[in-house]
Amino acid sequence: MIPFHSNSRQHDELSEVISESLGAIDLKDDTAFGQTVERFEGMLADYCQVGSAVAVASGTDALIIALRALDAPPGAEVITCDFGFYATAASIIMAGFTPVFVDVAPDRMVMDLDAVRDAISPKTAAIVPVHLFGEAIDMSALQQIADQHSIAIVEDVAQALGARSGGQLVGSFGTASAISFNWSKHLSSFSNGGAVLTNDQEVAARLRSLRGHGNAGGFRHTRMGINSRLNPFEAGLLSAKLPYLDSWIARRREIAARYTTNFASSPDVVTPAATETEAHVYHKYTIRVPDRDGLRKHLADEGVGTLVCYPWLLHDQPAFEGHALRAHSFGRAAEVAAEVISIPVYPELSDGEVDFISETIASYVSSAA
């Protein structure tokens, strides 16, 4: 059985380093928990080349406080892509704003910048680019659009830690940028974790207040915050793993290149569009095929786990019924949602497993054609 995702091989390989990091937390020292989180915040800010990292309990919380830190009026519009994970859109609503959904770019699975330009209205306060599946959006082009209209950017880096746009790490462009370390991410905690990155010291101070119920000091609450802390044991695990992230990303790129070569003679398998090597960290390797559900069943029968990320467009999620939202454009996104399937890409996969998965897919797709 090749699971779609698993941390067990990684944790097995790193068991000594992880035990050492967790063992170093001094349970008798009341300040040790805070220090463990602060130390991780420092390591993360250095890795991401930003001024500050503010750790929270999840990527969802990170998005909510990153958006609230903008101090935009309630109901302001926030533009994001219609194809993506539920949490991005839900966070916009939970932060008190109105999501405006735009289409994916032609032949891509990330937002179309022309559609972003078209969707801007006098109510637009922010754009949330999601570097989906680990693929960096062209941030210099997006920044130009945002600057022309004096709109903030809050990056959703949940799936793209370590990816670069024009040589610069994603997460370092936005006024604030949200990361997730949930168990499925390429820098993963045991269960949940998140952080907001920023280069603006005032925004960092607001974020620290927002993660503690908006307390400005002395129990005077000046903003509607949330209660969100990164668990120190998660911080200990993440600190142990962060030094390995670049080598894991390199192996993900190798696996992705191997898949793409293996599928070169299967015209019905649409592989992720080639981008500059450093622009993609392959948090997910997501292909498009005509008979996605049939292929998924076939792979399951052959012992290969897969995931459909994501079968529904965000504007169409039942949870959002009754909430203000605007579906600006989604024709290409709907086609993508009907055809995508994500296949295993974690660094601990062997070349033999990658070739087995590729052959199983290629033979199913050619027999179905």
Ligand X SMILES: Cc1ncc(COP(=O)(O)O)c(C=O)c1O
Site for ligand X, rule CB under 6 A = 58-60, 63, 84-85, 87-88, 130, 156, 158-159, 180, 182, 192, 194
Which CB atom, from 59 or from 272, has the smaller least distance to ligand X? 59
Place of tokens 């101090």: 71
Nearer to ligand X, 58 or 124 (CB): 58
Q: Is 190 exposed, middle or buried (0-12, 13-18, 19+ CB in 10 A)?
A: middle
- Exposed (0-12), middle (13-18) or buried (19+): which is 124, by Cβ within 10 Å? buried
Least separation in angstroms between residue 142's CB and ligand X is 16
Give the pair of three-digit tokens for residue 224. Answer: 């509607």
Please state the closest distance from residue 87 (CB atom) to ligand X, in A. 4
For residue 68, which phi and psi values (nearest 5 degrees)?
-65, -30
> Which of residues 35 and 275 has its CB atom nearest to ligand X in the complex?
275
Smallest separation, CB 158 to ligand X (Å) = 3
Residues 6+ apart with CB under 8 A from 328: 79, 100, 101, 102, 103, 115, 118, 119
CB of 181 to ligand X, least distance (A): 7
Q: Mapping DSSP to helix (H, G, I), strand (E, B) and coil, where does residue 111 land? A: strand
The CB-nearest residue to ligand X is 59
Residue 271's Cα: distance from chain center in Å?
A: 20
Q: How far is the CB of 124 from ligand X (least distance, A)?
A: 20
When the beta carbons of 21 and 192 are compared against ligand X, the nearer one is 192
Q: Of the two residues 5 and 213, which places its CB atom closer to ligand X in the complex?
A: 5
